[in-house]
Structure 1
Amino acid sequence: MRIRKLLPALVGATIVIAIVLYVAFYFVFLDLFVDLWWFRSLQYEAYFWLRLLYRFILSGGVTLFFFAVFFFHFWIASRYLGLNPPDAVLLDADKRRRFQSFADVFMSGSSKVYTPLSFFLAVFIAIPFYEQWEKALLFFFGSASGIVEPVFEQDVSFYMLSYPIFMLIQQELLSTAIILFFLVGGLYWLEHIFVPNQSKEYPLGAKIHLTMLLGFIVLFVIWGFLLERYSLLYVDSHEPVFFGPGFVEMRYQLPLIWLSILFFLAMAVAGMVFIFSEKHRIKMPLIICAIGFVCVVGLRKVEFIPQLMTTFIVKPNPVKTEGVFMQHNIDATLDAYDLNNIKTIETTVSLDATKDIEEWSTKKHFENIPVWDREFLTDVYMQLQGIRPYYRFPAVDEDRYFLNNHYQQVNLAAREMNIKKLPAEAQNWENTHLRYTHGYGAVVTPAAQDAGKPIIWYLRDLNMTSDAGFKVKYPDIYYGQEPYHYAIMPNQLTVAGLSSSDPGTGSQYVGSGGVPIPGYFRKILFAFYFKDEKIFFSTNISTRSKMMIRRNLIDRINALTPFLHLDKDPYLVIDKDRFYWIQDAYTTSDKYPVSKPAADDFLDAKLDFNYIRNSVKIVVDAYDGSVDFYISEPDDPIIKGYNLAYPGLFKDLDEMPLELKKHLRYPRDLFYMQMKVYAKYHQITPELFYEQAETWQHATVNKQQVRPYFITMDFGNCNDREEFVMINPMTPINRDNLSMIGIAGTLNREQCGVSYDPGVTIYKFSKDVQVNGPAQVDALIDQDPDVSEQFTLWDQHGSSVQRGRMVILPMGNSILYVQPIYMLSTKTRIPELTRVIVSIGNQVVMDKTLWSAFNRLKKLFIKEVKDAAGSGTTVGD
């Protein structure tokens, strides 16, 4: 009978224990072990434990702190500092017994209620800290940047590293104090009504306790007002003219914040005097302070006063009243986006390009101008070098390599594995995880090619044929841009013909990547982790096998360093030993004071920020998956904080292998975003900034923006050495003529070595001579009768004509335009480079090779000069 009564309790306890064990196994134990093994395989075990320790200390410490605060105050309240019943109660035996029973329950048994309640409230309050524990590291490990903002004269690192945490702490402490005030007040009220024959007045001890809590509320509210001052640095009410505080905020809103602090503090003091005064309570000071506080808060909410100030003070004198605040916005934005060190070269474009053509036609390696666009090459590579149905080229990259005794720009792409291209019946577990596990090799083509000829290959086919000197010992690509599944390598299968031109050749993995599977314990844990029993029962997995997980580049890096923001374009680098991926990473903040927030077309619009640095270069080994982090912006306060918090994670950029360092580049998306900001903020005086007469925009062709593109060219800066740079053309806003050309590179022009020295140079054109922009050159091409006739002819023969990216190059005092023309067959859809168009000034020439087109252009200008001389006029009249 007794067992029958206990049976439901035992069943319930068993179910609860089973649920707890299940949750602990799947969400704590299993993830912890797999992550530990994975970090250990990458030689980041110390970093793994350090992250775990920080998270435990910060999250656990905050929870423990709030638990102690709640429990302490509940414990004080349960002791009831004024628990002294009248003597009549203590003399009456029955009343004394009832009182003692109440006191025993309230004082001794209360911990059974207050302990879980305190824990629940502590967890509830600490949830925001759990989500932002990594940002809190910057609060502890951050250091000053040395740059002081001019409004409140605080170091900018205070706003980026400390201010967000201060706001969080203030909100949580204020919430805690308010919750405690009402709960403790409720406890005192219950004690007061349950103790018989109490007087109407609360005892002094209860008043002191509640007053202390009220004092904390006052303190935290005042702290909130003080922090609110800094929020004025991020107002956008003056957009689109400028960002940040203006005349109204600093002359109206800021004084009201100080008045709010004054009246609230006075109201709190008056309230405390009222509470503790028993005989001579004076309500009037409390009422006056309360009315004053409400009026000040109300004045902050009304809009007609700021509107009057704007109408009668600001708008009649905008530059005079707001000029200093515009200057703050200009200076802060230029610094936040690292635009302070841009070199500007005033350039006058000559209408007579004969001299420039003569000089540049003798330059070495002028044929390095890229005429193959990577957007068109994707289809070419897939059609001509895909070879097997399961291979794919996810992206085409641009880079430079030292070939044929000079630096030459090339396009290259990794041949990665995509098993989804196989028939559905072949996409089984064994093929997915043991057989079709990796890509193989890469293709390389020169960016500059002649039209009408077969494409030139520097690296091709599965046997990695190369006439240019490329040779890779381990061409297998286990880690890349494809959404790879987990792979188990090496294994017992004989994989034949997947990664070689010889169908009888098998390949086995000999790298160090992956988590070892030495026995059944790890096999069964991995089976549970992936919810796949085949891992445990497969006889093709040996003790030499390794589990490769997180093989996608982005997933892999994000799992290691979720606090870094990754560029959208990782690129492939070929070394003599193997392939590597280089990934640019950024540190960002949305709290740089008075800096304009970035547009929403950067990093997939997933991030709001007004400060950015390309602080880290990440190298991922495509064969064994090793990941190395190199600091490229050592002055960035954010990366300095993380470097102090995680010793050993980051390396100095000088430690990067020389062969990889040669291939560092300026990030394309970063340059695009910087130029988008600089288009307005290059006007560095309040007068120019307000007028907006010289605002730029990205050049457009057929309503499409001309995005930055790479080019390798000798600009005469480093002893005939070619520079790998990006070009970004911009036009006046709502106009098509060219205003400037921005060039971003990494070459140190003083040392001319391989040191990484990113910088931007602006070639700014004078307004005396109109310089044709891409849209105007595009119109000239359309107006050329020979070109139009040829385009019409091609379109009638089962092909379509596609224009490639328009390359713009400053050439002395002239601007050179080069545009490739592709022909796409309606059957094969393989792009073919058919012609190259070259333009300088108003002259347009189309030919099969860049050199022949350039020479024809040269003859046209010489003829134009002669004709002008014979007629007694100047070129351009």
Structure 2
Amino acid sequence: MQKLKLLPALIGATLVLAVVLVVAFHFIFLDLFVDLWWFQSLKLEGYFWLRLLYKYFLSGGVTLAFFVIFFFHFWVASSYLGLNPREEVINSFTKNQRFQRFADAFMYGSAKIYTPIALILAIFIAIPFYNQWEQSLLYFFGSPSGVKESVYGNDVSFYMLSYPVYSLIQQELLITATLIFFMVGILYWLEHIFVPDQSREFHLGAKIHLTILMIFVVIFVVWGFLLQRFGLLYTDSHEPIFYGPGVVEIRYQLPLIWLGIASFLATAVTASLYIFSDKHRIKTPLFISSALFVGILVLPQIDFIPDTIQEFIVDPNPVRAEKPFIQHNIDATLNAYDLNNIKTVDLSIKLNAAPDIEKWSTQERFENIPVWDREFLLNSYQQLQGIRPYYNFLSVDEDQYSILNHVRQVNLAAREINIAKLPSEAQNWENAHLRYTHGYGAVATPAAQDAANPLVWYLRDLNMHSDVGFNVKHPDIYYGEGKYDYAIVPNNLKIMGISGTQPVAADSYHGKGGIPIPSYFRKALLAFYLQDKNIFFSTNVSTQSKVKIIRNIKKRIGKLTPFLHLDKDPYLVITQDRFYWIQDAYTLSKYYPVSKPTNDSFFPAIKKFNYIRNSVKIVVDAFDGDVDYYISDPSDSLIQAYSNAYPGLFKNLQEMPEELRKHLRYPRDLYYLQMEIFAKYHQQSPELFYEQAETWTLANVNKKDVLPYYQTVNFGNCNNKEEFVLINPMTPINRNNLSMIGAAGVQDQSTCSAAYKPGITVYKFSKDVQVNGPAQVEALINQSPEISAQFTLWGQYGSTVEMGRMIILPMGNSILYVQPVYLTSTKTKIPELSRVIVSIGNEVVMDTTLWSAFKRLKQTYLKDAAESIGPGTSRAIVEPTSK
């Protein structure tokens, strides 16, 4: 009968245990197994275990340390130190053993209470460390950068690697010490009143214990004051003028912090004497020190004093008063955003462009001017080269290749798989995961082409046809930018004519990537993990098959190295063996001292940051999925700390294959951010910075910013070697004339070698001659009756006229503007490059080719070389159209 009563409880316990085991298996052990297999497939098993070790060792170690701290103090407090009864009370209790039973229960029985309490408190205190374990890792493996900030003279790596950890530890230790002090104090008080007829004074041991705890509280409070000094370096009270501390912070708030430390120590000493010593229990010192400490705490909250300092000392002489602090902000910001080595070239512009046209009017100069915008090309690629409904082009990349013994700028795009475009009846499990598993090949076209002609192809079609020597041995693309589901290859299906041009059986996958499925056990686990029973029951999945998961390159990199922040635009590289993706990655920090934080949401994980380095170049094999990390900026202390923590993960840039290294480029996102900062911080003297008379902004055309774009340019450097650079024009704020043209490249200008050495050159224009900006050139185009009439004529033929990106290039002592004109059919929606507009000075020419347009400009300028063309005078030459 008793067994029958226990049966429901036994069944319930069994069910609960089964549920716990299933949940634990699915969310802990299964994920762990699959992650391990995935890291093994990437040959990064050691990194996987090391990362787990760091995470759980740090988290577990911190929890254990706080548990020991809580447990130790509770144990001490329960060991009679608070009991101080009279001798006769002890004797009375001892005779009937009541006191002994009480003592035993208090000493040993209370452990059942304070042990779980200590564990719960330890977990609660350690939670912030769980979330910031990687920041703690940087602290242990970091090293000095060699760069010192100018306010306190500390190495900047202290602020990026150590300061956040110190702040976290100080806060948690202060909370811990305060909790223990009050909880132990309450425990002693309860002990003191629990036993009757106790002495008025606490036991000496209790006094010593509480005094030690108070000393720890004092130490952690003082440490907080010391760290508060560094917090002054991140004040934004002086914005928008400058960022960082000023006169008020350094001359008023900093001394208050030191006074706060002194007054708090005095308060702690007098309070200890008052509480624990009858002989020294004097109220006056305690009252004075406490009042002083409270007053110092309250003073920073009162705006009267800092407002008075600001009004009567700073505001009458702002530059003189704040000069050193403005300089601190300028120096720190330029260094934090890697802008302190920008090369500035003063470029004088001449009104007469005839000599420059004569010198530059050679056919080679026009072979790499990118008149095809990648935004317009994407639709053309899709309609002309998609070929199959399940192929898709997601983005167009720019690069340069040696073609026919000459470096040419090209546009290219990967033909990726997109089974969402298949008919609904074909969207089944077998098609999605066994048959339509990958993209195939790519397309490439020259960036510079003649207008009114069909699109020229360097690489095209599913047979990878190329007239210029492109030849790819493994053109399959299993990893890319698309939203990929898992794929199982090779498999037992005989796939007919999906990738090739003939309806024959496709070759089985013969790469190395993916998680092997050598047994039914692993097959079952993968089916359970991917929540798809077909994996287990399908006879087309063999022991030779491999499961490819996490095939989107950004997600793939993000799972491997979540501490790196990725550029928005990975780009494709064509090699003789296969396709690769190159992804720029950044290390960020919001703790660089006195550096202005950016307001752009480039990286959602860190909304505001004030330090960035393009420290890593990541190469992803589009065929196998291998991921290789190369350090591109060894001077970055953050990436050096990660490299020390994870030995073998990061390689030197020199180890990158030459075929890939020559395609490295300056990242677009980084350059845009740097120029946004440099637009203000190029004014490097405090006086100019305060005046803001030369602040720049992005050039504007057609109510849109001219964003940085890639251009292959010959600046006359390194034996006239062409460079693949990012171009960025800027105008004065609230003005339309051009102030500068920035060029960011990776060519080593000092040695002219192929070594990777990123740098920025700013071509700055003198103020004596106005240089037309994009908006002013746009006005010249719109004012031309001939061009306007041509646009109107095209519109009557059912086409939409669209203006492409305006290309701006320095050309000797002149500025060349090139803008493509596209006609988009209302039926096919395929854009056609119809004309190019070229402008120098106030002359505007529209023609079918750059060469012919330049010849017309040359004729015009040579004819009028002796004349001075005043501002606002424009002439337009338009090639006649037959339409």
Q: Same fold (TM over 0.5)?
A: yes
Name 2:631's counterpart in structure 1.
631
Report what 1:128 is aligned to: 128
Deviates more, 1:321-330 or 1:789-798: 789-798
Give CA-to-partner distance per residue, 1:734-784, whole Å, 9 cap, x none.
Answer: 100000000000111233332111010000000000000000000000001
Partner of residue 148, structure 2: 148
- 8 Å Cα contact 2:273/2:280 also seen in 1: no
- 1:213 Cα deviation from its structure 2 partner: 1.1
More displaced stretch, 495-504 vs 332-341: 495-504
Aligned to 1:298: 298
The code of the aligned residue for 1:158 comes to F
1:811 and 1:605 map into 2 onto residues whose CA distance is 42
Contact 2:84–2:202 (Cα < 8 Å) also in 1: no
Structure 1 partner of 2:744: 744
Moved more, 787-796 or 441-450: 787-796
Q: How far 1:620 sits from its partner (Å)? A: 0.3
- Residue by residue over 1:32-72, the C-alpha shift from the partner in whole angstroms, topping out at 9 and shown as x without a partner, is 11111111110101111111111122111111100110110
Q: Deviations for 1:146-185, whole angstroms, at most 9, x for unmatched residues?
A: 1111111110000000000000000110111111112212
Provide Cα deviations, 1:680-737, integer angstroms capped at 9, x if missing partner: 0011100000011111001011221100001112222122321111100000011000
Partner residue in 2 for 1:645: 645
Specify the alignment match of 1:208 in structure 2. 208
Distance 1:606 1:205, change over 3 A: closer
Letter matched to residue 517 of structure 1? I
1:531 and 1:94 mapped to 2: Cα distance? Answer: 68
Query: For residues 12 and 453 of structure 1, do their structure 2 counterparts lie closer, same or farther at Cα, with a shift above 3 Å needed?
Result: same
Letter of the 2:292 counterpart: G
Q: What residue number does 1:248 align with? A: 248
Cα deviation 1:468-514 (Å, max 9, x = unaligned): 11010100000000010111111111111111111223131100000
The 1:16/1:183 distance shift into structure 2, 3 A limit, reads farther
Residue 736 of structure 1 aligns to a residue whose secondary structure is coil
Partner-residue secondary structure (3-state), 1:236: coil
**Secondary structure in 2 aligned to 1:844?**
strand
Q: Which amino acid aligns with 2:465?
A: T
Structure 1 position 630, deviation (Å): 0.3
Q: In terms of mean alpha carbon deviation, does 423-432 or 546-555 score higher?
A: 423-432
Are residues 90 and 602 of structure 1, via their aligned partners in 2, closer, same or farther at CA, if it must alter by over 3 Å? closer
Q: What secondary structure sits across from 2:864 in the alignment?
A: helix
Shift of the alpha carbon at 1:625?
A: 0.2
How many residue pairs match? The answer is 873
C-alpha displacement of 1:632: 0.3
Whole-Å separation in 2 of the counterparts to 1:343 and 1:91: 90
What's the CA shift string for 1:243-271, capped at 9, x where partnerless?
00001111111111111111111100001
- 1:389 partner amino acid: P
Q: Which residue does 1:334 correspond to in 2?
A: 334
Change in 2 beyond 3 A, CA 1:646/1:786: same
Q: Which residue of 2 aligns with 1:486?
A: 486
Paired AA for residue 749 in structure 2: R
Partner of 1:753: 753
Q: What percent identity do the matched residue pairs reach? A: 67
User: Structure 1 stretch 5-14 or stretch 701-710: which is displaced more?
Assistant: 5-14
Distance 1:673 1:499 in 2: 41
* More displaced stretch, 111-120 vs 297-306: 111-120
Find the aligned partners of 2:45 and 2:372 in 1 and give their Cα distance.
Answer: 45
Letter in 2 for 1:301: Q
Q: Distance in 1 between matches of 2:363 and 2:554?
A: 41
Of the structure 1 ranges 162-171 and 146-155, higher mean CA displacement relative to structure 2 is found in 146-155
The Cα of 1:538 is off from its aligned counterpart by 1.1
Given that 1:698 and 1:705 are in contact with CA atoms closer than 8 Å, whether structure 2 keeps it comes out as yes
**C-alpha deviation, 1:211, in angstroms:** 1.7
Query: Which structure 2 residues correspond to residues 460-859 of structure 1 after superposition, within 5 A?
Result: 460-603=460-603, 606-859=606-859
Say which is worse superposed, 652-661 or 274-283, in terms of deviation.
Answer: 274-283
Give matches, 1:67-106, under 5 Å.
67-92=67-92, 96-106=96-106
Deviation of 1:116 after TM superposition, in Å, equals 1.7
Amino acid across the alignment from 1:819: Q
Once the two structures are superposed, the pairs formed by residues 42-191 of structure 1 within 5 Å of their partners are 42-92=42-92, 96-191=96-191
Q: How far did residue 95 of structure 1 move? A: 7.8
Rounded Cα–Cα distance in structure 2 between residues aligned with 1:11 and 1:221: 54
Which residue identity does 2:752 align to in structure 1?
Answer: C
1:441-491 CA-to-partner distances (Å, cap 9, x unmatched) read 000000001111100000001111100110101000000000101111111
Distance in 1 separating the partners of 2:363 and 2:216: 75
AA aligned opposite 1:251:
R
Task: Supply the distance in 1 between the matched residues of 2:807 and 2:586 (Cα, whole angstroms).
Answer: 28
Matching residue of 1:439: 439
Q: Which amino acid aligns with 2:704?
A: Q
Query: What CA distance in whole angstroms lies between the structure 2 residues aligned with 1:604 and 1:179?
Result: 36
C-alpha contact (below 8 Å) 1:141/1:644 kept by paired residues: yes
The one-letter code matched in structure 2 to 1:97 is: Q
Q: Contact conserved, 1:367 with 1:851, CA < 8 A, in 2?
A: no
Q: CA deviation at 1:598?
A: 1.3
Q: Is the 8 A contact 1:865 1:875 kept in 2?
A: no
What letter corresponds to residue 423 of structure 1 in structure 2? P
CA distance in 1, matches of 2:552, 2:865: 58
CA–CA separation in structure 2 for the residues paired with 1:301 and 1:30: 54
SS of alignment partner, residue 839 of structure 1: strand
What is the CA-CA distance between 1:606 and the residue it aligns to?
Answer: 4.9
TM-score under structure 2 length normalisation: 0.97
Assess, with a 3 A threshold, how the Cα gap between structure 1 residues 332 and 867 changes in structure 2: closer, same or farther: closer
Aligned to 2:34: 34
Structure 1 position 87, deviation (Å): 3.0
Distance 2:625 2:564 in 1: 19
- Per-residue deviation, 1:373: 0.1
- Using the size of structure 1 for normalisation, the TM-score is 0.98
Q: What SS class does the counterpart of residue 865 from structure 2 fall into? A: helix
Shift of 1:23: 2.9
Q: CA RMSD in A?
A: 1.7
Q: Distance in 2 between matches of 1:867 and 1:321?
A: 52
Counterpart residue type for residue 218 of structure 2 = V
Instruction: Give CA-to-partner distance per residue, 1:175-226, whole Å, 9 cap, x none.
Output: 1111111221222122222222212322221121112111111110110010
Residues 529-585 of structure 1 show CA distances to partners (whole Å, capped at 9, x for unaligned) of 111111111111000000111100111001111110100000000000000000000
- Amino acid paired to 1:376: F
Instruction: Give the letter for the 1:238 counterpart.
Output: H
Seen in structure 2, the aligned counterparts of structure 1 residues 801 and 289 have a Cα distance that, compared at 3 Å, is: same
Q: CA deviation at 1:868?
A: 6.1
**Partner Cα distance (1:807, 1:516) in 2:** 50
Tell me if structure 2 keeps the 8 A contact 1:445–1:458: yes
Distance across 2 between alignment mates of 1:617 and 1:736: 37
The CA deviation at 1:865 is 1.4
Amino acid in the other structure paired with 2:23: V
Match of 1:234 in 2: 234
The 1-side partners of 2:346 and 2:776 are apart by 22
8 A Cα contact 1:263 1:289, kept in partner: yes
Question: Does the CA-based 8 Å contact 1:342-1:759 persist in structure 2?
Answer: yes
Amino acid at match of 1:274: Y
- Whole-angstrom CA distance in 1 between matches of 2:646 and 2:228: 32
**Aligned amino acid, residue 458 of structure 1:** Y
Contact (CA 8 Å) 2:707, 2:728: kept in 1 or not? yes
CA distance in 1, matches of 2:641, 2:674: 24
Runs of 5+ in structure 2 lacking a partner?
876-883
Which stretch shows the higher mean deviation, 566-575 or 416-425? 416-425
Aligned partner of 2:10 in structure 1 is 10
Secondary structure of 1:808's partner?
Answer: strand
